[in-house]
């Protein structure tokens, strides 16, 4: 008898699913046996996922900055697929430039997407997970959650905040059977736009590599939680 796929019958919610790491995650999760609720602002990108993956994926546009949009996404996902077993907060934005060159509106967007978006998703899925005494939240931060970098001050601030929130939340909910994992990737080759196939893999991670690591941590036994995972390309100076 063949072994079951590692995430068979699990329902996993992914934000920022239309491109980059979120797109790779959706494909890898489906390949591992999960049913995926894929959300993003890019409706065209979501339609492409649905066409490629069929009934294994539920797609719905969502703006993680808007708490009601997130609640609607979660409700639609559970109506279509069933209770959410895991939620991956992947949506994120960043800008590389000196702080004094940022407009305050740019700062607001990074805080709203990178931090408030995580809070909105967690607030929407946690009641059900705690009630079922089972669930897993994965918050995608950055290696900048643990180190400084010039010209990324606002982005780094949001990721430091996600790190603090994730570890504190784990200590609140693990007694209810809910896991929380913080993932800190180094540079991913889609961060500043489309993938660049010619870029040296020792300098920038392919999103599929990070996605495989996340599938692995989701597949741990119920009594095991990987509370933090850092993953870097070998050639990155960190």
Q: What is the pLDDT of residues 74-89, one digit of tens each?
A: 999 999 999 999 999 9
Domains in the chain: how many in total? 1
Tell me: pLDDT of 44 over 70.
yes
Set 22, 86, 121, 155: catalytic member: 155
CATH number of the structural domain spanning residue 26: 3.40.50.720
Copy the structure tokens of residue 85: 């077993």
DSSP symbol at 195: -
CA-based torsion, 170, 217, 203, 140: positive or negative: negative
Task: Provide the pLDDT for residue 195.
Answer: 44
Residues 6+ apart with CB under 8 A from 87: 12, 13, 121, 122, 125, 135, 136, 137, 138
Tell me: pLDDT of 192 over 60.
no
Instruction: Identify whether 215 is part of a domain.
Output: yes
Instruction: Identify whether 1 is part of a domain.
Output: no
Place of tokens 């941590």: 217
Q: Active-site residue 96, yes or no?
A: no
Specify the higher pLDDT residue, 196 or 220.
220
Copy the structure tokens of residue 43: 């409706």
Task: Provide the pLDDT for residue 201.
Answer: 65
Instruction: Identify whether 3 is part of a domain.
Output: no
Q: In what order do the strands lie in the sheet with 11-15?
A: 57-61, 35-40, 11-15, 86-89, 135-140, 178-185, 228-231
Task: Provide the pLDDT for residue 204.
Answer: 87
Instruction: Identify whether 6 is part of a domain.
Output: no
Instruction: Identify whether 4 is part of a domain.
Output: no
* Average pLDDT, rounded, for the chain: 93
pLDDT tens per residue, range 126-173: 999 999 999 999 999 999 999 999 999 999 999 999 999 999 999 999
Instruction: Identify whether 122 is part of a domain.
Output: yes
Q: Calculate the dihedral angle through the C-alpha atoms of 20, 208, 232, 172, rounding to the nearest 10 degrees.
A: 80
Instruction: Identify whether 5 is part of a domain.
Output: no
Q: Which domain holds residue 200?
A: 11-231
Do residues 74 and 58 touch, judged by C-beta distance below 8 A? no
Tell me: pLDDT of 199 over 60.
no
Instruction: Identify whether 88 is part of a domain.
Output: yes
């Amino acid at each position: 008898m063949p072994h079951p796929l590692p995430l068979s019958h699990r329902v996993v919610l992914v934000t920022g699913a239309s491109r980059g790491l979120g797109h790779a995650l959706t494909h890898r999760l489906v390949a591992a046996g999960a049913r995926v609720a894929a959300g993003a602002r890019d409706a065209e990108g979501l339609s492409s996922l649905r066409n490629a993956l069929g009934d294994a994926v539920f797609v719905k546009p969502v703006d993680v900055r808007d708490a009601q949009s997130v609640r609607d996404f979660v409700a639609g996902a559970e109506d279509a697929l069933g209770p959410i077993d895991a939620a991956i907060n992947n949506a994120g934005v960043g800008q590389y430039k000196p702080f004094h060159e940022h407009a305050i509106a740019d700062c607001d967007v990074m805080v709203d997407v990178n931090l408030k978006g995580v809070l909105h998703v967690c607030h929407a899925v946690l009641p059900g997970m705690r009630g079922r005494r089972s669930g897993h939240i994965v918050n995608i931060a950055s290696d900048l959650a643990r180190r400084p970098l010039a010209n990324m001050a606002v982005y780094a601030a949001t990721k430091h905040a996600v790190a603090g929130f994730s570890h504190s939340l784990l200590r609140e909910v693990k007694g209810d059977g809910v896991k929380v994992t913080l993932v800190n990737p180094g540079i991913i080759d889609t961060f500043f736009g489309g993938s660049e196939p010619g870029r040296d893999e020792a300098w920038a991670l392919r999103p599929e590599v990070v996605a495989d690591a996340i599938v692995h941590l989701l597949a741990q036994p119920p009594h095991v939680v990987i509370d933090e995972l850092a993953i870097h390309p070998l050639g990155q100076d960190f």
